[in-house]
Structure 1
Amino acid sequence: MKPKIAISIGDINGIGVEIALRSHEKISKICQPIYCINNKMLKLAANELKLDIPNDFKTFDTKGIFELKPGYVTKKSGRYSYNSFMDAIKLADKKKVDAICTLPINKEAWNKADISYKGHTEVLRDYFGQNAIMMLGCKKMFVGLFTEHIPLKKVPKKINTEDLTRFLLDFQKSVNSKNIGVLGLNPHASDNGVLGDEEVEIFKAIKNANKKLDEKVFTGPLVPDTAFSPMSRKNYKYFVAMYHDQGLAPLKALYFDQSINVSLNLPIIRTSVDHGTAFNIAYKNEKVNLKSYLNAIKEAIILIKNK
């Protein structure tokens, strides 16, 4: 039997519904998608897009009816995308689906709707009371983020041996890799303390994690500006970055169209597209790239089978 996957529809003023409709034929051949959107909002979006709704397009009735404003940030669309996500989480938590896959939200819209979270991972971390890990990438390269959506000036204060050791051990357990590169924070990984002392904490965490695993799994601190060079990528598939842009700028430069987001260290399986709402092309029937979404669905199926 094909696995069931709940799809949170994302910000309805963006490209989420179009991606779902245009991908459905391919998706439904490998899984049973359940889209968290009510029929009224689905019809409004489909009519705006001038797309037919497939007969087997199964929905979950996420509450809320309002006027679409394609390409605009609105309080109502922010609240609806959050409600859609929460419905998907609850379906997975109650074992009514095998995994969830999320389409893109807009953080400003969440803020307008007085939602305190900055993104999906923070919600999952709070809902399950576990240290969810944000990992992004594709089959060629994955990057785990030690810190996520925080101001850059706060990152150095977050780097301490205890927290990073726990993160590294949780990350390794989730990805089951024996070779993971850990980036330093400062230029040249501080040049032995000349450019900063955060690398001391990173080195200690790497040493502690390897000791607890009784083998050398983690290597580093790697010099950040060469960590993603072609030669380095031959040595590592998995990296740990100290902050958001340190890991995601090179990842998206290399593999933007095909990258996905995976939440690790949770009791449920969650994958996501690794792109935004693309308000600039929403509902204009311009060519929407489906590769990230298709890869996210495929990765969820792999994780279901390996569970």
Structure 2
Amino acid sequence: MAVLVVADNDNALLRDATHKTVTAALKISGDVDVLVLGKGAKAVADQAAKIAGVRKVLLAESDALGHGVAEAQADAVLALAGNYDAILVPATSGGKNFAPRVAAKLDVAPISEIVDVVAADTFTRPIYAGNALETVQSSDSKKVITVRPTAFAAAAEGGSASVESVSGADAAKTRFVSEEMVKSDRPELAAAKIVVSGGRAMGSAEEFQRVIEPLADKLGAAVGASRAAVDAGYAPNDYQVGQTGKVVAPQLYVAIGISGAIQHLAGMKDSKVIVAINKDADAPIFQVADFGLVADYKSAVPELMDALAAAGK
């Protein structure tokens, strides 16, 4: 049984989600190949070749693939699908965009955001905003699966797979126009070891920036936000943590002024240590927090900043 893992990359760097998806793939079969989609992405393919357990790396390049056009990505995967029994994709915003297209063209049922591999045809995935887990057994001849990276350990380095070039793909009906990238010196939210998130209690975008961002900079953390804060315009969409945002599992998650709605908890409750600051003692966030402080963030955060400064942080 052969498995194809579609790499998560930006044409220059291989993201950690790929290593974690390879871990899931190796639970299905020992024959795991990695497909790198992009443009000028040979360096990414070389990085993927070093992942332990990878048999070979396939590199598909075109202008559309370099811009992450979903239709082109789906076509590139479909061109290789006949050689594989399962196709695994990291459950990132990009992966969740083209994976359903692949499943539809193959006329199979996609299996989304698995958190465990029970057997080669049986998987565990969360439902009801992560409050329950279901076991899914698929009888499809080919399986298209998105993998929640936070649920798996990263595969080790030390591999020496070969790299082969394959045909790229362009989207016949879709044209890339432009993109606006958020530039930041902070860690990427989905892969950060520390995340500082703010909620609706911030009251304004200016207050969010004044309170959350300096603390994140002090801790070397990524910045996150609840859906309520994003909907209110306090933070951009790519900061959103939750069921309809990004799922994170950092070593430390600091939630400030976040009530802990089920939608938000689904995106961060697997964090190793959760610290919550909220003036409402009955806020649901305290039910999952390892450390909770019932206090107004307006006084608690400055005190925390002073304590960090005194500790030399």
Higher normalized strand content (fraction of residues): 2
Higher relative contact order (CA 8 A, sep 6+): 1
Structure in which a larger fraction of residues adopt helix: 1
TM-score by length of 2: 0.34
**Structure-1-length-normalised TM-score:** 0.34
